[in-house]
Amino acid sequence: MTLECRNVVWRADGRPIVDGVSLSIPKRGVIGLVGPNGSGKSSLLRVLAGLRPAHGGAVLLDGQLLSRMRRRQVARSLAFVAQHADTGTELSAHEVVMLGRTPHRSAWAAWSKTDDDAISSALRQVKMEHKAAQAWSTLSGGERQRVQIARALAQKPELLLLDEPTNHLDIRHQIDLLHLLRNLECGTIVALHDLDHAAAFCDRIAVITDGRLIAEGTPETVITPDMIARVFGVEATVHPPSGQRRPRVSFCL
C-alpha cells in the first residue's frame, strides 16, 4: 500500500500553509519530514492522514482518492500519531491502546485473541507493558507519547504517520523509537526536528519550508550545509562519522 499526494494545497484564513506539495510514501521504509517551526509539517501530515481535506491537488491511497474513502476503511490502512495527542482522562494506558483496534472490530464482535495480541505486542514494542493499568491522566509526557504510539501500532497499519513522536522522550527512548520505526514492516513518514536523527534513521528526507517541498532524497544528498543555511538560517558542517555513510551535523555555535 502506498500513499501519495499530488500538488496538494491546504489553506488557513486564505493563506496557503501547504503549497503544492507532491510526495510519495512507499510501502516500506521511513521518510523523515524536516523543516522550521511553522513550515507546514503537521498540516501536511494531517492532509495526508485525511484529517483535513485538501483545498487543491489530490491525496491517493493505493491510487484511490482518500477523500472518497470511508473513514473506517482509511483507518484500517493508515495510523496517525499527532504531536499533542490526548484522550479520555478516565482511561488506563491499556484502554487507550485498545482504541487502536476500533477500525478492525464491529460493534457486536467479541474481543478476540488477535486484538489482545496486537495490544500486548504494541505495549511491549514501546516498553510500556508495566504501566498498562495506570490511568492515562497520571502518565508522564513521554509515557503518554509512547502509549499513543502503541495505540497506532495496535491498529496494525500499513502506513504510519507520526508528528514529532520523539519530542517528549529522553534520548534512550528517542533512539529506541527510531530503531522501532526503522524496523517496522510498513511505510512511515515522521516529522522530526533533530537532523542527525533524521539522517541516521530515515531512508529519505523531505524538506518543507513555507509550505513548499524544497528537497527530497537520501540523507546524503539532502542534509547539506547549504540546505541547513537556506532553510534554517544556521551555519553548519556536515560529515559522516568515520566508517559511516550517513551525514552528521555540527552546528557553528
Ligand X SMILES: Nc1ncnc2c1ncn2[C@@H]1O[C@H](COP(=O)(O)OP(=O)(O)OP(=O)(O)O)[C@@H](O)[C@H]1O
Rounded to a whole number of angstroms, the distance between the first and last alpha carbons of the chain is: 43
Query: Cell numbers 496494525 label which residue?
Result: 156
Please count the helices (runs of H) and the strands (runs of E) in the chain.
9, 12
CA 19 to chain centroid:
20
Q: How far is the CB of 231 from ligand X (least distance, A)?
A: 12
Q: How far is the CB of 226 from ligand X (least distance, A)?
A: 21
Short-list 88, 71, 68, CA closest to 151: 88
Is the CB of 122 or the CB of 228 nearer to ligand X? 228
Interface ranges with ligand X (CB under 6 A): 12-13, 17, 35, 37-43
Is the CB of 40 or the CB of 165 nearer to ligand X? 40
Cell of 58: 489530490
Q: How far is the CB of 189 from ligand X (least distance, A)?
A: 13
Sign of the dihedral through C-alpha 183, 189, 194, 196 = positive
For 103, the enclosing helix (H) or strand (E) is: none
Q: How far is the CB of 251 from ligand X (least distance, A)?
A: 18
Is the CB of 40 or the CB of 100 nearer to ligand X? 40
Q: How far is the CB of 44 from ligand X (least distance, A)?
A: 7
Q: How far is the CB of 159 from ligand X (least distance, A)?
A: 19
DSSP 107: T
Is the CB of 143 or the CB of 163 nearer to ligand X? 163
Q: How far is the CB of 55 from ligand X (least distance, A)?
A: 12
- Residue 9 identity (one-letter amino acid): V
Q: Which backbone phi and psi does 128 adopt, to 5 degrees? A: -125, 15
Is the CB of 125 or the CB of 148 nearer to ligand X? 148
Q: Which backbone phi and psi does 205 adopt, to 5 degrees? A: -125, 135
**Which residue intervals of the chain are DSSP H helices?**
41-48, 71-77, 93-98, 113-125, 141-154, 171-183, 195-201, 219-222, 225-232
Answer whether 189's CB lies under 8 Å from 31's CB.
yes
Is the CB of 42 or the CB of 155 nearer to ligand X? 42
